[in-house]
Amino acid sequence: MDGKTLARIGAIAFVTLAIVTSAIEMNRKEEAPEVFAGTAKVQTGPDPLAAELGRCSGLGEAGPRDPSCLEAWAANRRRFLGDDTTTAQSSAPQAAATGEAR
């Protein structure tokens, strides 16, 4: 069997396989998409902390001097990092005593 005949047989097999696969795919029934209950996050109202942070970011250079902005940033850090004030307060005197700077 020469190479030309072998190539023709391979091409015919490939085309036959493509036709059969297309026919099977066209006869398949549409499946309904799955709906995952409870994955959507329901927000009941605007976040007052987010509104305050937005106001503070609009103040520009006056933001770091505004006491309510300082409080909002501290609350945002606590929410993001967790309440870790006890370890920060206990390590500060030790760093000052040893002369270490943060």
pLDDT band at 18 (very low <50, low <70, confident <90, very high): very high
In this prediction, residue 63 has a pLDDT band, given cuts at 50, 70 and 90, of confident
User: Is there a domain that residue 26 lies in?
Assistant: no
Q: What pTM does this model have?
A: 0.39
Does 96 fall in a domain?
Answer: no
- Let me know if residue 39 belongs to a domain: no
In the prediction, which pLDDT does 102 show? Answer: 44
Domain for residue 33, yes or no?
no
- Total domains present in the chain: 1
Long-range contact pairs involving 14-17 (C-beta distance under 8 Å, separation at least 24): none
Give the side-chain half-sphere CA count within 13 A for 44: 1
For residue 8, is pLDDT > 90?
yes
Is 72 a residue whose pLDDT tops 80? yes
Structural domain that includes position 64? 48-82
Residue 85 has pLDDT above 70, yes or no: no
For residue 54, CA distances in Å to 18, 21, 71, 75 come to: 58, 56, 13, 14
